[in-house]
């Protein structure tokens, strides 16, 4: 699924989501490949080269790639680029490893691992969670919007997903800007005494008087953060389902398909 993205990413500038975050210090660039840190001088050269193209392009980490003299630069939107040691040559695309007559997409693994790491940092208490009554066999994260037809269709499947022992964790992803009616609906739901019940009613199409609700600053912050996370991960539509391993399923799919991807048989 990510190969289609790379066809459009000829230059590194096309990776930017126009979201600015504080960049990491040059002398603390980390590497996860073989637990070897990248030489600070090399890291500085790479960062300088990238900054010369786009100052707001934020690097999460730099690591040595499996190819000699090639470095992997992971941007904070979960998209990697590859560069030589001084950043004078850069490229995007899928790095493939051919082994035992099979092909492994190393780039896709990098992306899903990064997404998985971002999800692990979430405060579960700020999500609307639907837990299975039986032992949980899998967890999915779903970016949703109450004005989305397929989000409502997906919401009807939550009971079936729970029956398959899949826990569903909902994140707010309003498809409109702050202070719009659609954005405020999700803020009001997260402000409710019982956010799950409020979300169920909204998804069922119940007439809710959002004007009578009292949005809290905490709920506003949660919705803003979850929307920003979705944008950072490249989410553009709803529902967007992310598995625990970081794999993204864009759009509505049946519970059985999700269970299959989670290797759950029932």
> pLDDT confidence of 209, banded at 50, 70, 90?
low
- Which neighbouring-strand residues pair with 49? none
| Mean pLDDT, rounded, for 62-66 | 91
| Mean pLDDT, rounded, for 13-40 | 42
**Alpha-carbon separation of residue 173 from 25, 221, 247 (angstroms):** 31, 13, 18
> Is pLDDT above 70 for 118?
yes
- Model-level pTM? 0.79
Residue keyed to tokens 């409710």: 192
Residue 265 has what pLDDT?
A: 78
> pLDDT confidence of 262, banded at 50, 70, 90?
very high
Q: Determine the distance from the C-alpha atom of residue 2 to the mean position of all C-alpha atoms in its chain, rounded to a whole number.
A: 13
Residue 176 has what pLDDT?
A: 85
By the 10 Å C-beta count (0-12 exposed, 13-18 middle, 19+ buried), 230 is classed as: buried
Residue 97 has what pLDDT?
A: 93
Residue 182 has what pLDDT?
A: 85
> pLDDT confidence of 211, banded at 50, 70, 90?
low
> pLDDT confidence of 38, banded at 50, 70, 90?
confident
Q: How far apart are CA 235 and CA 17, in angstroms?
A: 11
Lowest mean pLDDT among 21-35, 37-51, 118-132, 140-154: 21-35
Domains, the chain, with CATH or none: 3-120 (3.10.450.70), 124-261 (3.40.30.10)
Residue 215 has what pLDDT?
A: 77
More confident residue, 32 or 138: 138
Phi-psi region of 102 (alpha: psi -120 to 50; beta: other; left: phi over 0): beta
Q: CA geometry: angle at 43 spanning 41 and 49, to 5°?
A: 105
Lowest mean pLDDT among 28-37, 44-53, 160-169, 183-192: 28-37
| Mean pLDDT, rounded, for 85-109 | 92
Residue 220 has what pLDDT?
A: 94
| Mean pLDDT, rounded, for 205-230 | 82
Q: How far apart are CA 134 and CA 48, in angstroms?
A: 52
> pLDDT confidence of 8, banded at 50, 70, 90?
very low
Residue 170 has what pLDDT?
A: 98
Lowest mean pLDDT among 215-219, 239-243, 252-256: 215-219
195, 201 contact by CB (below 8 A): no
């Amino acid at each position: 699924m990510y190969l289609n993205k790379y066809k459009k990413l000829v230059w590194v500038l096309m990776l930017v989501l126009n979201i600015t975050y504080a960049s990491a210090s040059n002398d603390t660039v980390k590497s996860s490949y073989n637990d070897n840190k990248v030489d600070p001088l090399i890291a500085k050269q790479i960062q300088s080269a990238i900054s010369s193209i786009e100052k707001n392009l934020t690097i999460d980490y730099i690591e040595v790639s499996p190819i000699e003299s090639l470095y992997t630069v992971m941007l904070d939107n979960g998209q990697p680029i590859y560069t030589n040691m001084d950043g004078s040559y850069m490229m995007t695309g899928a790095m493939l490893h051919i082994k035992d007559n099979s092909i492994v997409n190393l780039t896709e693994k990098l992306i899903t691992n990064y997404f998985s790491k971002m999800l692990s940092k979430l405060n579960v208490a700020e999500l609307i969670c639907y837990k299975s009554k039986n032992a949980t066999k899998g967890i999915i994260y779903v970016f949703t919007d109450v004005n989305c037809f397929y989000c409502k269709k997906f919401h009807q499947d939550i009971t079936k997903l729970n029956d398959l022992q899949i826990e569903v964790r909902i994140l707010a992803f309003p498809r409109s800007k702050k202070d719009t009616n659609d954005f405020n609906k999700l803020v009001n739901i997260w402000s409710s005494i019982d956010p799950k019940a409020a979300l169920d009613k909204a998804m069922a199409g119940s007439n809710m008087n959002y004007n009578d609700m009292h949005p809290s600053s905490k709920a506003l912050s949660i919705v803003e953060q979850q929307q920003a996370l979705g944008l950072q991960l490249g989410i553009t539509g709803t529902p967007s389902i992310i598995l625990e391993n970081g794999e993204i399923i864009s759009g509505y799919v049946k519970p059985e398909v999700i269970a299959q991807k989670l290797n759950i048989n029932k």
